Amino acid sequence: MFHLGWFLTTGFGVYGWNQPWSGNVAADVGRPELFVDTARALERAGFDYMMFEDSSVLPDIYQGTFESSVSAGQAVRMDPLPLMPLVAQATKKIGLIATVATTFYPPFLAARLYQTLDHLTQGRIGVNIVTASPHKAAQNYGLEKHIDHDKRYEMADEWMQAVTALWNTWEKGALQLDTETGVFADHTKIKPANFEGEFYRTRGPLNLPPGPQHRPVVCQAGGSPAGRDLGAAHADTIVSAVVGAEAMKAYRDDISQRMIDHGRKPDDVKVLYLVSPIIAETDAEAKEKQAQMRAAQAANISGNLAAMSYFTSMDFSKFDLDAPMPDLSGNNGHQSTMADFAKSGRTLREIAANHRTVESVELVGSPATIADQMEEVMDYAGGDGFLIAAPVTRKNVTEIADGLAPVLRRRGLIRSDYTHNTFRENLLEF
């Protein structure tokens, strides 16, 4: 069996604006209903989690304006954290991960907030740690420009240690709720964290009891060596976008090795690979759809350049479209992605025309065909599952949850039921 999750590419954002199957988007802006409905659907389908990506930047790199960020609502994002309790209230088992930028969120604030959410979700919350890439993000918080890539990861590692120390300030059994003795909590089991690092210091303790998980699930996505190491050290689940079954297998093996180096069991992390399935009733129809989508994407050069600009913090409108792609591997942005681009030797236009949503493996066909493809790849890669990264529209959600998932279930490839009540327990069950 493998795991399934949904990666909400723009978190609590705006999806499918002005597209054929999402004509009511206006009514959903900043409203919980779409995400509540989605969570319920994915829970029906036995998904492990929904992962809300996040960013606090309205990008204006491309062409130096905000146009590419708002003309289609592309980069608009509400803060996902307040949405978590609303979605939790409407569901029972599915895990919910919300993103936090370690570079900007004070450890005590994050530790307390996520502990609170662990209560409100009854043990189903997770935190996705990112270090944030654009300079503009740092500038929102008063820095001139963002901290250097590797240093950010060093800080993130320490951040995680600080937060973990805080989560451990209440021992198991500190909360007594004893009406006989009248003791609510036992003070002898609560101790300060007294964490002192190079970048962070925090005394603690937290002023609230631990939630059901004690330690919320930790999620991480990072292709660079520093990123992989952070994940191997702290994560329960890792998001990967490496391309192709070989790369998937290599990634899984690499993570396993790093975990062993950190004294952890490889089974304790689930790696999920990003995919964006194109499903239809027949294979032919799906292929037709794919062709149409590719043509549309290839024609949308400016949209693709805008996306690339965002990832790299470089304004691609400045470069000659028909010259070879410049080498930006020293870039502070998404290093691994940049390295791939430079290696290819193609022109900027060619790269932009072929710019696709990143996915680990192409999945195109009827539900049965896609199930075959997923089974084959997962067998080869050695684990652990897939993260659907399609736009969050009701049509996409029902096609996955009510079309594809039941087929996977019938073949015993995904769970038929949740065995446990908390997120990590279900995640680590297989």
To the nearest whole angstrom, how small is the minimum distance from the Cβ of residue 159 to another protein? 40
To the nearest whole angstrom, how small is the minimum distance from the Cβ of residue 41 to another protein? 7
Q: Write the single-letter amino acid at 297.
A: Q
Q: Which is nearer to another protein, 60 or 399 (CB)?
A: 399
Q: How many CB atoms lie within 10 A of CB 79?
A: 12
Among 1, 17, 44, 214, indicate the residue that binds another protein (CB under 8 A): 44
Among 1, 17, 40, 72, indicate the residue that binds another protein (CB under 8 A): 40
Q: Which is nearer to another protein, 348 or 388 (CB)?
A: 388
Determine if 399 is a binding residue for another protein (CB under 8 A): yes
Name the residue among 166, 10, 134 with its Cα closest to residue 77. 10
To the nearest whole angstrom, how small is the minimum distance from the Cβ of residue 414 to another protein? 12
Q: How many CB atoms lie within 10 A of CB 370?
A: 24
* Stretch in the footprint of another protein (CB under 8 A) among 183-191, 211-219, 297-305, 387-395: 387-395
> Could you tell me how many residues of this chain bind another protein (CB under 8 A)?
34
* Stretch in the footprint of another protein (CB under 8 A) among 20-28, 186-194, 210-218, 266-274: 20-28
Q: Which is nearer to another protein, 24 or 419 (CB)?
A: 24
Q: Which is nearer to another protein, 65 or 282 (CB)?
A: 282
Q: Which is nearer to another protein, 250 or 291 (CB)?
A: 291
Q: What are the tokens at 43?
A: 């829970």
To the nearest whole angstrom, how small is the minimum distance from the Cβ of residue 44 to another protein? 5
Name the residue among 200, 130, 139, 136 with its Cα closest to residue 165. 200
CA distance to 98, 115, 116, 194, 214, per residue, from 110 (Å): 11, 8, 10, 17, 14
Determine if 21 is a binding residue for another protein (CB under 8 A): yes
Determine if 266 is a binding residue for another protein (CB under 8 A): no
Q: 89-119 b/e with 16+ CB inside 10 Å = b?
A: eebebbbbbbbbbbbbbebbebbbbbbbbbb
Q: Considering only residues 153 through 192, tell me which ones interact with another protein, judged by CB under 8 A.
A: 179
Q: Which is nearer to another protein, 311 or 386 (CB)?
A: 386
To the nearest whole angstrom, how small is the minimum distance from the Cβ of residue 398 to another protein? 4
Environment class of 122 (CB within 10 Å of its CB; exposed 0-12, middle 13-18, buried 19+): middle
Determine if 91 is a binding residue for another protein (CB under 8 A): no
Using CB under 8 A as the criterion, what x/- string covers residues 344-383 for binding another protein?
A: ----------------------xx----------------
Among 186, 254, 283, 288, indicate the residue that binds another protein (CB under 8 A): 288
Q: 212-229 b/e with 16+ CB inside 10 Å = b?
A: bbbbbbbbbbbbbebbbb
Separation between Cα atoms, residue 109 and residue 54, nearest integer Å = 17
Q: Where are the beta strands (DSSP E) in 163-245?
A: 175-178, 183-185, 195-196, 201-202, 217-220, 237-240
The full length of the chain comes to 430
CA 4 distance to own-chain centroid: 13
Q: Which is nearer to another protein, 41 or 155 (CB)?
A: 41
Enumerate binding residues for another protein (CB under 8 A): 20-24, 27, 33, 37, 40-41, 44-45, 179, 281, 285, 288-289, 292, 366-367, 393-395, 398-399, 401-407, 409-410
